[in-house]
Amino acid sequence: MSSKNPPSGAQLADALMRTTHALRRFAGQPYQQRGWSTSRVLLMLAVDEAGTPRMGELKDRLGVTGRSITSLVDGLEEEGLLKRVDDPGDRRSIRLEITAKGHEHLGEIKALHDAHAEVTFGILTDAERATLLDVLDRLRDHVAGRFPEPEK
C-alpha cells in the first residue's frame, strides 16, 4: 500500500476484527490455565458490575441464551460463588448475588485481568495508550447511535 493512500474503511474494520479476535483468545489464557471458562469470568464480572441483577438482564447483556445463563449460574451456585435471591419488587423474578467466596474469586479474576492486560498493552508507550483509548472511544461513540438497542 502506498503511503499516499490511507487504509480504507474495510481494511481498518478487518484489522480491528482480527486484532479483537486475537486479544480475546489471548485474554482468556490465564483463566483457562486455572480451568475457568471465559463465560464464567464474564458472568462474575457482569454480576459484580450490576450489583444484584436479574438473570434476564445478564442474559441480554452477555448475549447468551436463557439456557446458557441458567447453566452458568447453576455451576457458580454449586461452587458457592453466586446465590439466587428473591427480588423484593417482583415475586416472579430472581436476582443474583455474589457470595463472600465469590468476592474472593472475583479478586483473583481482577488481579489476573490487570496483570495480563499490562502484558498485552506493554508494547505501547503511554502516549500510544492514550491515543488508542481516545480513538476507540470516538469510534464506539460514532457507531453507538447508528443501530437500535436490543429489546429487553
Residue at 116 is within a domain:
yes
Residue at 60 is within a domain:
yes
- pTM (two decimals): 0.76
Look at the block and give the residue holding cell 423484593.
Answer: 88
Question: Residue 84: what are its φ and ψ, rounded to 5°?
Answer: -85, 135
Residue at 91 is within a domain:
yes
| pLDDT band at residue 95 under the 50/70/90 scheme | very high
What is the domain range of residue 89? 20-144
Residue at 72 is within a domain:
yes
Residue at 78 is within a domain:
yes
Mean pLDDT of 140-145: 88
Size of the chain, expressed as the number of residues it contains: 152
Q: How many domains does the chain have?
A: 1
**Per-residue model confidence as pLDDT tens digits over 41-94:** 999 999 999 999 988 888 888 888 888 889 999 999 999 999 999 888 888 888
- CA end-to-end span of the chain: 45
CATH number assigned to the domain comprising residue 69:
1.10.10.10
Q: Residues 87, 93: contact at Cβ < 8 Å?
A: yes
Residue at 151 is within a domain:
no
pLDDT for position 2 = 52
Residue at 13 is within a domain:
no
